[in-house]
Structures are given as structure tokens and as C-alpha cells.
Amino acid sequence: MTPGERRFSARLDDKLDDEYLCWYDVPIGPRYRHPDFVVLHPSRGFLVLEVKDWKAETLAELDRDRAVIDTDRGRVTAPNPLRQAREYAMEIVRLLQQDPALCHPPGDKRAGKLLMPWGFGVVLTGITRSQFELMELEHFLPPGSVICRDEMTEGVDTEEFQKRLWDMFLMPFPCLLSLPQIERVRWHLFPQLRIQVQGDLLAAPARDEAAPVGIPDIIRVMDLQQEQLARSLGDGHRVIHGVAGSGKTMILGYRCVELARRQHKPVLVLCYNKTLASRLEHLMQGHGVQDRVAVRNFHEWCREQLKSYGLRMPPRQDSADAYAQLLVQSMIDGVESSAIPRGQYGAVLIDEGHDFAPEWLRLVAQMVDPETNSLLLLYDDAQSLYGGPGRRRFSFASVGIQAQGRTTILRLNYRNTLEVLAVAKAFAEEVLTGQDADDDHVPVVAPESAGRRGPMPELWRARNIWAEADIIAERIQDATANGASPNDFAVLCHSNQLAGLIAKQLQKRGLAVLLASDSQRRAMFNGPPSVKVMTMHSSKGLEFDTVFIPGVCELASHDEDAGRKQQQVRALYVAMTRALRQLEMSHHGEGAVVEQIRRVVEGVSRRLAA
């Protein structure tokens, strides 16, 4: 901000109450225009303000179209700020009037017109009202459309300040925007905030200005806390510690698109599993920034780096885990010997960072260009699935991530209904409680529900695993016959073997199925609609309207290794929290896990009914 913009921002903060929403210098609409301030009030409408730090002695000329300013660099020409503000305001009006839900209804005398007032004005932070009059600026800046330096002081009367703003409206009339209407305004103004209804992390903005905007019946946008966090992430190292469903990946997507537009060096996005990498890659393609953003799962990235810099690949091993360890060590050795350069990326963003070993994070932190020093790590220890029970605890500082004082905790779960989240929390209580804060003072955080309601999760029994698959197929077929898309459904399994069996059974019943095998994970979100079948581990970072979890009777029992059981609890917790609305779990035999789920579902049902 300029000094004047900073002072005016402080006045808005001081003199306007919490009903006002204010945005400073954020891109508006598909053309990414940047007005200085946009102010929105539910019963007033919206106002666009351009702020100028001009002084009486530096403003050389002014007419209806332009201003000539004396600067240290000599005379410069700038647009007339009132004309500029009017153009921005008109663009917002055109954008919002495309949505019938934001216009007066047919039959009204204002039918088809925006149902809220609007206006525009100029703030002159270095020119007083008396100077304004002496310079006869009213010929090109109407006095009622201008706030002057002495009218935005710290001691200015609150009512007088607000009246200055609302006198700028062209045709004021009564209105009262509902919360859904305010969200629709944000959906149109800020395409980066959009979330598609069925599972997409972030909707791509419309890039063809001539094409009509496809407006869904139901819209979802980041809430104001998420938007503020996404916009306020500054440079340096940042950590977002968020519960499942809190919007971490959505915030990463927003941040990634913004960085891609202003970074000269490429941006790197890393995660652990291939399925999430495919989803993030699809997201970047939707925003048209795939040429500036590299999305990779960690081991794929290591392999590409070794190949790109002509280093020898490690020899094949008997186990995939052993080969992966050698691959990472070869990468580390390459960086330490300077065969692989450090600082390759203008920014690095890590999703599901709780699955990264400390040596991985230490390696990745070195890949950030020191000039930008931009690193974002998304983290939730409750969802950690990899590394086994002997997983080492470490501090971020010990691996080169300097995020002290720049860690944000997100506790609110927006993804799941209250019913789904209550069952998942109760089942995974031992994972979500009883752990102390780590060396960075970040505890395992239990999620809190945003309050959305839906059907109770179900636990049902079939005679065998093939019958479980048949019942799942029947339920999906019934739903698609009533208008649901196959993309709405996922079947999450405890093993690759079970996933293959379920996929074959669903295909036999005539369903379009995509099995998330290694060869298909990169194309999971391309092609025709299909039911997604994958392991619980592969589902991390994804979400679906309806999730089926078959064969829960085959999970670890109480007499098995405690560490293995805890890992399976974490995996089942992750799988449960993939469900946006409906969660169905099935079994064909009894066992400790089945009994625990049954007890949890019955207990939550009684509690919510009370």
C-alpha cells in the first residue's frame, strides 16, 4: 500500500462495522481488474474507490480523461481516477447482472437490473477540501464523489465518514442481501474462490470473456476466514496446520495460481500420493497455469531430477520401499555434491506435508529461490498414513523450514456433514486426542463441524465380499438413475487386492469404473464420468459426494500389533472424511473394528437425536 492507501484502510477498519466487507487491490472478475478498494454492505450495496496520494503542488493538470502529475521521474500521465473507478464499477455491474439471483425479478419495475445499489468515488489523501475548491477540481471530480485528506483523519466523526461514502451512490434504494446472495457476489467477483459442488477443489475461472458464464444452481465459495488467509499469505516460509476438510488444499490451489501469475521462476507443488498429484495437476490445467506450475508426487520428482541432471538411477531392489529410499538418497547426494542445483523454484508448495519424512522436507526446503523464499507447507498429523508406528518426531526448524510465528491452525471442517464428521471423530478418538504439541508447538487438532447436516452414516452387512460389491453397485445404479453422476461416488478399500475385486464386480454390473492403479492415477480426473475405486491411502486430499468403504471386518483386531492398528485407524479416518454427504461402510463378518464402528454409529445417532 501507499502511505495514503494505508491511512484510508485504517479509517475503513475504524469507522465501518463488521457487516461491511472490504477488499484492497484484489483481482476482480475474469479479466483480473484491480480497483483500489471494493466495499460491500448487505443493505447498502457495493462501492468502488480509487485512492490517490497526489498533493496540491504535484497535480499539474486534470481533465475528464487524464491527470498529469509531477514526480521525481518527471511528469507522468495517469487516468482520471473517477473515470477509472466508474469503469471498474460498471464492469462489476455487468458481471453481477448475468446472475438472475442478483437481479430484480420479472414483473418488478427494475426487472433485470441489479438488486443492490452501487457507486464509485475517489479518495485524495494528500489534498484537503479547501485546496480541492481553490484548485477548482470540481469541474472534473464532482465534490460529492470525493473524500479529501481532512475528511479521513483519525478523529473524523464515524457517521460523517460513512455519509461521505454512501453519498457516492448514484441511485440509492432499499435492499437487504442475504448470506447466499453475498456469497454469489463473491463467486462472480473472485473466480479464484469458487468451489464446484461435487468434489472439485477449486473451479477454474472463465477465460473466454465472450462466452456466457455458466452459473450453477448451488454455489460454494471459500468462507471469509479461508479467503482472508489465502489472500494474506505473505512471502517467507508458512505452515497451515488444518484438520481434514478445512480447505487446506483449496487454499494451496489459490496460492499456487496467484504465485504462478507473478513469479518468473517455475512453481513446484509436491505431495506424497499419485492420486492427489493427478487432482492438483488437473486443477492447474483448469486455471491455465500448467506451463508455470510443476505438480509431482515426491518420488516422481526425485526421479525426474536425477534424469534431468544426468545422474545414475539407483539399482532395482526386491521391495518398492527399499528402491524408494535409495532414490531419495541419490537425490540428496546429488544436491549435496552440487550436481543438482538448489533454488530452482520461485515457490514450493507441499500438500499433505505430514506424510513427508524429515530428510525429504530438508531436501525440498533447499529448492526454494533465496530471493523469493516462498514455501508453503500444509499439514495435519491426524491424517498421517505413511512411515509406520516408529515415525520420527521433529521440528520444522530442524529441517530448514523457518515458520515460527507464521503457522496458522484451521479447526473448522467444511467438507463433511455433522453426522459424517461426528462418526469419524468418535472412531478415531485415540488418534485425535492425547498427543502433546510437537517441537513447533503444533498439537494434533481435532476437527470442529461447520454445521452442515445430512444422512447418518450406515454400517450394513452382506453374506460375502462379492455381495457387498453387488449391493454397492445397486445403490450407485439407483442414484444415477435419479440424476446423480458416476463421478459422485468412490469406493475406498483397505488394499489394492480388494480394490481390484470391487472394480471388477462393479464393471460386471455395467457401471463405468476407474480403478486407481499406478498406471491410471495420473488420468483419474480426465475422460468420461466414472465411479472411482481406490485404496484409502490413495484417497487423501480428495472428496466425493458418497463414499463406500467395504470389507471393514478385515481390518486389524485388538490383539494385533498396536502400531499397525493405529495406522489402520488413521486410514479409516481419512477414508470416512472423504465423504461430502453420504458415508456407507459394509462388512461380511464380525470383528473388533466392526463392533467399534457399530457402537460409534449408534452412539452418534442417539446423541444427535437427543
Helical H segments across 451-540, by residue range: 465-481, 496-508
Tens-place pLDDT, residues 85-124: 999 999 999 999 999 989 999 988 889 899 999 999 999 9
Do 272 and 299 belong to one domain?
yes
Reading the block at residue 320, the C-alpha cell is: 518398492
Q: Report the C-alpha gap between 132 and 280 in whole angstroms.
A: 53
Residues 31 and 152 grouped into a single domain: yes
pLDDT in tens, 237-279: 988 888 877 778 778 888 888 888 777 789 999 988 888 888 8
Q: What is the mean pLDDT of the chain?
A: 85
* Domain co-membership, 347 together with 484: no
Output the pLDDT for position 440: 46
Q: Domain end: 191, 215, 239, which one?
A: 191
Give the model's pLDDT for residue 397.
85
Beta-strand pair 59-62/66-71: antiparallel
Band of the pLDDT at 389, cuts 50, 70, 90? very low
Helices (H) then strands (E): counts for the chain: 17, 24
- Other beta carbons within 10 angstroms of residue 154's beta carbon come to 9
Using an 8 Å Cβ cutoff, are 236 and 406 in contact? yes
Tell me the mean pLDDT in the region 302-317: 93
Residue 421 has pLDDT above 70, yes or no: yes
In a domain, 220, yes or no: no
The confidence score (pLDDT) of residue 381 equals 64
Nearest to 333 by CA among 353, 306, 307: 306
Residue 299 vs residue 218, higher pLDDT: 299
The answer to whether residue 577 is domain-embedded is yes
pLDDT digits (tens, 9 = 90+) for 509-541: 999 999 987 556 556 667 788 999 999 988 887
Do 268 and 377 fall within a single domain?
Answer: yes
Whether 535 maps to a domain, the answer reads yes
DSSP state of 541: T
User: Could you tell me what percent of the chain has a pLDDT over 70?
Assistant: 88
Regarding whether 487 and 563 lie in a shared domain, the answer is yes
Q: CA–CA separation, 82 vs 54, rounded Å?
A: 14
pLDDT in tens, 313-331: 999 888 888 999 999 999 9
393: left (phi over 0), alpha (psi -120 to 50) or beta: beta
pLDDT of 571-609, one tens digit each?
Answer: 898 899 999 999 999 999 998 899 999 999 999 999 988
Does the structure show a pLDDT above 80 at 441?
no
Contact, 196 vs 220, CB < 8 A? yes
In a 10 Å sphere around its CB, with 0-12 CB exposed, 13-18 middle and 19+ buried, how is residue 191 labelled? buried
- CA proximity to 380, closest of 402, 350, 406, 401: 350
Average pLDDT over residues 206-229: 61
Answer with the one of 174, 191, 208 that is the final residue of a domain: 191
Query: Does 385 lie in the same domain as 424?
Result: no
Domain boundary among 376, 392, 410: 410
Q: Tell me the average pLDDT across 414-441.
A: 74
Give me the amino acid identity at 228: Q
* Residue 450 and residue 398 share a domain: no
Show the domain range for 143.
3-191
Looking at the structure, do residues 424 and 544 belong to the same domain, yes or no? yes
Nearest to 375 by CA among 398, 403, 415: 403
Q: Which residues pair with 448 in a beta bridge?
A: 412
The length of the chain, given as a count of residues: 610
Question: What's the DSSP call for residue 375?
Answer: E
pLDDT digits (tens, 9 = 90+) for 40-76: 999 999 999 999 999 999 999 999 999 999 988 888 9
* Residue 207 resides in a domain: no
pLDDT score of 354: 83
Paired strand residues for 368:
345
d(CA 243, CA 412): 7
Q: Is the pLDDT of residue 224 over 90?
A: no
The answer to whether residues 373 and 305 belong to one domain is yes
- Is 569 contained in some domain? yes
Which candidate, 264, 203, 210, 258, places its Cα nearest to that of 376? 258
pTM (whole model) above 0.75:
no
pLDDT band at 209 (very low <50, low <70, confident <90, very high): very low
- Alpha helix (H) ranges present in 97-136? 129-134
Question: Does 30 share its domain with 145?
Answer: yes
The position carrying cell 450453477 is 216
- Determine, yes or no, domain membership for 210: no
The mean-pLDDT minimum among 260-269, 332-341, 443-452 falls in 443-452
Do residues 244 and 541 touch, judged by C-beta distance below 8 A?
Answer: no
Burial of 16 (0-12, 13-18, 19+ CB in 10 A): middle
What's CA 47's distance to the chain center, in Å? Answer: 27
User: How many other β-carbons are positioned within 10 Å of the β-carbon of residue 506?
Assistant: 26
At 208, the pLDDT band (50, 70, 90 cuts) reads: very low
Q: What is the pLDDT of residue 204?
A: 42
For residues 268 and 235, is the Cβ–Cβ distance under 8 A? Answer: no
Q: Would residue 32 count as lying in a domain?
A: yes
Look at residue 241 and give its three-state secondary structure. Answer: strand
What pLDDT is stored for residue 523 in this prediction? 62
Q: How far apart are CA 13 and CA 22, in angstroms?
A: 9
HSE toward the beta carbon, residue 267, CA cutoff 13 A: 28
User: Which pLDDT score is estimated for 240?
Assistant: 86
Q: Tell me the average pLDDT across 329-349.
A: 94
Residue 218 lies in a domain: no
Domain count, the chain: 3
| Same domain assignment for residues 434 and 399 | no
* Average of per-residue pLDDT across 189-213: 53
**In angstroms, rounded to a whole number, what is the distance separating the alpha carbons of residues 426 and 32?**
44
CATH number assigned to the domain comprising residue 586: 3.40.50.300
Confidence (pLDDT) at 11: 93
What phi and psi, each to the nearest 5 degrees, are found at residue 497?
-60, -45
Residue 491 in contact with residue 506, Cβ under 8 Å? yes
User: Do residue 389 and residue 279 come from a single domain?
Assistant: yes
Question: What's the pLDDT score for residue 128?
Answer: 95
Give, for 39, the enclosing helix (H) or strand (E). Answer: strand 37-41
- Name residue, grid cell 497535480: 59
- Per-residue pLDDT at 407: 79
